[in-house]
Structure 1
Amino acid sequence: MSDYLIRLIERQFQFVLDGSEEVLLGRMRHCLNALEREPLVAPHLIEIQHDLVQVFERFSSMSTELIQQMVGLRKRLGQVSPGLESLFGKRPTGFDESNPAWSHSLECFDAMVEGEDISILGMAKHRDDSLARRLLTLLRVNLTRAKEMQDASLEALLKLEGDWRNLQEPYEYAWRLHVDEISAHPGYALVVLKEFLVLVNPLPRIGDAVRAWREEVGEIRKGRPAQVFSELRGILYDGKQGTGVGLDLKRQIEPHICTLREGLVFRVGTRLSLASLFNRFQSRCEQHDAPRLRALVDEVRRRKGKPEDVLRDQLALWLFDQGLNPVTEPRIGNLRPDLLDPGALYIEAKQYDRSPRVKIIRGMYQMYDTFRRLRGAHPEVNEGFFVVFRRAGPHVTAPPSVSSSEGWIIHIKFVDLADGGIGSRQKQRPVDISMEEISPERGL
């Protein structure tokens, strides 16, 4: 199935890239709509968008921590050089580019920290216009002024300058890493492509959901003048001749198409690799290890233990030998998932020897509940496996995987350990479990 998805993704994007500039956006719209309607691809698109928001949130969290330290540095600067506090007097009723002085003051610093969105006037613009960078700029400007005023100890100012560098250099390093991560992120590529579609063919009215998304990921079209989109609109839809401003459409969006394609293929391929591991574990158990596992279960039952625990431990050992790092029953708040690899996946193991329907359905909803609460502590875990060991009883047919609109997916794997004997036949009717019975939106 994953091979089919990879071929589908490759085919759709190649269809877009093979088109001329006149049909490129139309094909791209068709491609994105088709992928979003494909049930097995849609969870991957949701996942990369959730992941992109987390990238921004991580950078924002780091910035918030540094801002708290900047506030402390600002207070110390005001104490070391009191003249800075009154250098510009009271806040003017208005200021502009011809009189930018107040926007360089410590009072302006305080206003920004309190939540006012104020630009620092009279200075070169930077691609990063975040609050942290503006506050760093104001601290640097005022440290320079304090030296010029000569109303403070030079030794104290040099100490503050060193502390400023200890904030500025980690921020610059984190900003560069953030830019690198965003530039190669398929979620960002998806946002850019959708933004192109909206800007060339604007929606009659931008809804709250679109506005909220733009606020989360920032403004995509910085550096692209409005006339580019206006000209593209005229060329593509009105039959106008271009002036050359908007004729490099393919060059502008092809890197984003390729980034999104490779990101989707990587995610599907990663899941294919994990699925292959579980398929191999299933084959190992059924073809080579079933007698030993049955003996282990019998021994555990004689000692009044839980068969599920010993089977789960065998699965954990297999996963560890394959290079994963599963942790058995980790405590996360009041949660105790069977197995968790914090960087990869969440696993629950069940077993049955008689009618399995209720146990399997309840096990799935246990996973849904755990997943929703687990994502708070481990948002990177978005894939789960529900492994069901059959010791006896009827066979079960169920959907191979279940995905959620929240961005996670659960694969269902059955491992048959039953001793059927030579020439024996299954005498019990198989149990069919439908997607409707185990839908994450349905509930018990």
Structure 2
Amino acid sequence: MTDITLGLDADGNDIAYPVSDLEETNWLITGAPGSMKSVLAVSWMAQYIKHPDHAVVMVDLGGDLAGYHALKSKADAAGKPSYLICLDETVDCDGWDMLKNTPVFKLDPKRAVPGLMGALRLQSGEGYPNTFWSRHSAADVNKAVDGLKAIDKWSFEDLAEQLRQNDAESKNKGQVSEAFLAAEELCRYTRAMSSRERQLLIGQAIEEAALIYFFVPSGIEGGAARSIAAAANWCVMIEAALRFDSEAASKRTIHLVVDEFAQIASSGSTTESILNLARKWNVQLTLILQSIAQVPDDLQSVLRTNCQQAIFDAFTRDEQEHLRSLSLDVYQQGQRSMSVSGIDMPTQTQNEQVEPSLTRNEILEVSGIKSQFFLALKLGNGYQQPVVAKVKPAISLEEHNIYKQMPLPRLGTPLSVPSRTDAKQFESVPDPALLELMNRIKSEQTWWR
């Protein structure tokens, strides 16, 4: 297979491009909940996963299980390994240590700091009004990472301990304490992951052209989910950079998909650098948002400039204006007017004006139909303006409904994971049934908050 089908046109024909034409493209998918944004992304990834030199990394902050099961079935059919990272300790998934996995952290601790700054977010990610790093200095993290290098220990447990020690010595305890709390938030996760029999190494999984699926629904797991997602993005980019600099590494295209990207979105300049480096390092980013308005103004222009776009549900005036700005201009006939220059000599004048060929009514009509979207391409292959497309799902509706209800694989033997309450005291995690009940309660609480 040499083509990737992006969707169906008005006549039901595939809108397809050769894989090579899409290698250096990044994607932005926007639309309201339920508009089939994730189904579209899964459709694309299910096609890429069939290629022997393409690896797929899906970071799912939304939490639709159908995506995981659909992509895993495609990976199994292609004979590729798959890895699942999940915050639920009762699920049979893979372990992952985000510090040990990335060699650059040990080679040059100073370069680790931006990654840690991304991973150590508190409850509000950068895409939200209040941000942790807007009030925290990187110097404290630098000092803690230097401490890790000195003792050659690389885990969030060790990082939290370093921050605790720095807190006791620091005159500005507020900043260090916040960093400690953020690191401590991930300690329970790393203890659970270290107990897993199979450990994920992202670099190795990319070499295997595998599927890596981070199932981290933020509605249930909160700040820990966003921290894991931010660290996953960072580690994938670092591994891609290491592969690019290595003559021994096999050629791989890495597809990094982030569902609910607004929850970990960084500033416009940072994201622009990442998008540019992604092209260089053979990473194709697919960023999924409910609305472009979810991210700051400077980031909106960066995303629109650097990404191909699939736009569902353009109900806001801003989205409509954006689509019309991409549409070819045409002459629109104006109102006729009559002037009288004498009793028997009427003259008619015709007013003409230039407007985009795509009208707001047409945009609203498409926005009201589920699974339809505007495909705004910069590939210049016959599509000079946004075209109406329809999602071509990777699986049938019946399969989707089955997968959506299918649970994640459960552990045969429940883990007993130590959970530190202070420096010396440990307690065991409750049994799986109680954990399941706790998760359901947390899930329901998110609905009424």
Looking at secondary structure, tell me which structure has more strand per residue. Answer: 2
Higher relative contact order (CA 8 A, sep 6+): 2
Please say which structure displays the higher CA radius of gyration.
1
| Fold match (TM-score > 0.5) | no
Give TM-score scaled by structure 1 length. 0.23
